[in-house]
Structure 1
Amino acid sequence: MVRLVTYLNTLLGKAISFAILIGMVIIVYEVIMRYVFNAPTVWVQGYTQRIFGAYFVLLGAYTLIHRGHVRVDLLLNDRFPRWRAFLDVVNYLVLLLWTGALSYQAWSYLEMSWLFNERDDSALGHPIWPIKLALFIGVVLIALQGVAELLDSLRRMIRPDPATATSEESTPA
């Protein structure tokens, strides 16, 4: 299960990472239209906000896989592998609490946005629910990856990797 969730989040993360290119093309188009042809567009700002917003929230699980989130390793440095794994378990349990609360709230936001047909205040009146859907999906993906990382940390706590483990018994107290 751990490998499957990690594989799917990696695949999705690589696919979503191309959204940045779409956003860049739209911004370059806007710059050319605005400064070369003196004809700015109405729609670019709304679409780029949605693209970059979705990009940000949907890459959370991929970032977790590659250890790209901010992390304070003061308690992890120069510690035994089981201790590091134990602290990872604690961190992932807190992450799961956070993602549980956030996914509940994100679902509420999505549901209300859909039911009331919420729209932004731009001239085009874009619907708001797609970005709230991206938030919900992104949080669920982070939670799934958090479960996978938690299971891996539990495995490392019970049976540390011999390649990285230093013998806890032979280290002087």
Structure 2
Amino acid sequence: MRRYVAIIDAINYRLGRVVMYGIFAIIAILLWSSISKTFFLPSLWTLEMAQFAMVAYYMLGGPYAMQMGANVRMDLFYHRWSDRRKAWFDAFTVLFLMFYLGVLLYGAMDSASYALEYNERSNTVWRPYMWPIKLVVVLGVTLMLLQAISEFFKDVARLRGVTL
């Protein structure tokens, strides 16, 4: 468990630290979109590219946010609980998250395989291939699932009085 947690946490930490600077790419794309619409002929690719960049930013940054505890919690009672009770609750609820991510991964893989098999393209004027962003979604969901398993292992370790 220690090795798994160390490897997955290291991968998601490093990738998250790199992906967090993707917001500047999104800003640059949207800035170019505004400038081109104001002063030149509008660029056809900018808004869809900004959407793709935002999907990549969100999907690849999610595991890092989970690892850092930056996700939003409904904290009506949780803050008053003991660390042991929090670990029990977290270990139980992360099972639902893992089920959801498993279903999401199944759908993402099916969608990505369809996009690869049939060279699916967007229905916009720019018509980019869809498989690159769908593969990013598959990678992001896979990393999120691996991070959820890592968090489960950390919760189990906390229940046993061990720090991972």
TM-score, length of structure 2 as denominator length: 0.91
Cross-structure match for 1:4: 7
Cross-structure match for 2:29: 26
Task: Give the aligned residue type for 2:106.
Answer: Y
Instruction: Tell me the secondary structure at the aligned position of residue 78 of structure 2.
Output: coil
Bigger radius of gyration:
1
Where in structure 2 are there 5+ consecutive unaligned residues? Answer: none
How far 1:76 moved relative to its partner?
A: 2.1
How far 1:160 moved relative to its partner?
A: 6.6
> Take 1:112 and 1:99, find their aligned partners in 2: how far apart are those partners?
20
How far 1:110 moved relative to its partner?
A: 0.5
The within-5 A match list for 1:1-173 is 1-35=4-38, 37-159=39-161
> Take 1:120 and 1:149, find their aligned partners in 2: how far apart are those partners?
36
Larger helix fraction of residues: 2
How far 1:11 moved relative to its partner?
A: 0.4
Percent identical residues? 28
How far 1:3 moved relative to its partner?
A: 2.1
> Take 2:50 and 2:28, find their aligned partners in 1: how far apart are those partners?
10
> Take 1:159 and 1:5, find their aligned partners in 2: how far apart are those partners?
21
> Take 2:107 and 2:100, find their aligned partners in 1: how far apart are those partners?
11
How far 1:70 moved relative to its partner?
A: 2.2
Aligned length: 160
Q: What are the superposed Cα offsets for residues 37-66 of structure 1, whole Å, 9 maximum, x if unpaired?
A: 232111112211111111111111011012
Instruction: Tell me the secondary structure at the aligned position of residue 20 of structure 1.
Output: helix
